[in-house]
Homo-oligomer: A and B are copies of this chain.
Amino acid sequence: MTFTVARGSIKRGELARRSGCNLETIRYYEDVGLMPPPARTQAGHRLYREDDQRRLRFILRARELGFSIAEIRSLLSIIDSAEYTCGEVYALTQAHLRSVSAKIADLKKLEQTLKTISKGCAAGSAPECPIVDALIAD
């Protein structure tokens, strides 16, 4: 007896190839509840449809934009609710934007400090190092 895979359905390896996602990561997203448990073949092989592919694309893009798994879970649960409003998605996006901006500000301060403490350094062969001094000082 032969079973044919449902029209348009693909297995995990193919989904990984198409999305550029790591094979194991797809299973991970299923484990943490971002991807729904997919249909299976008789033998237990996962079968993904068009909308699974769209959902994975969404997740991957959101990750690229620095959203955490928890944030994406929130985004998806909003979107999954039959009648989501754009305002909720907007609010989450703005919150994330604020945290990104804050991180940039922090790193800039850090960059400045690193520049300052390395300024006094001749990078020479002398054992006196203003960088080390700056790191030890309180």
Give A residues with C-beta under 8 Å from B: 54, 57-58, 61-62, 65-66, 75, 79, 83-87, 89-91, 93-94, 96-97, 100-101, 103-104, 107-108, 110-111, 113-115, 117-118, 121-132, 135-136, 138
25 contacts between A and B (CB under 8 A): A57-B136, A57-B138, A61-B135, A65-B113, A66-B110, A84-B129, A85-B124, A85-B125, A86-B122, A86-B123, A86-B124, A86-B130, A86-B131, A87-B123, A87-B124, A89-B129, A91-B123, A93-B114, A93-B118, A93-B121, A97-B111, A97-B114, A100-B107, A100-B110, A107-B107
A118: nearest residue on chain B (CB-CB)?
A: B93
- How many copies make up the complex? 2
Return chain B residues, CB-CB under 8 Å to A61. 135-136
Could you list 15 further interchain pairs (A-B, Cβ under 8 angstroms) beyond the known A89-B129, A94-B118, A100-B107? A58-B136, A86-B124, A86-B125, A86-B127, A86-B129, A86-B130, A87-B124, A89-B132, A90-B118, A90-B121, A96-B114, A97-B115, A101-B111, A104-B107, A104-B108
Return chain B residues, CB-CB under 8 Å to A130. 86
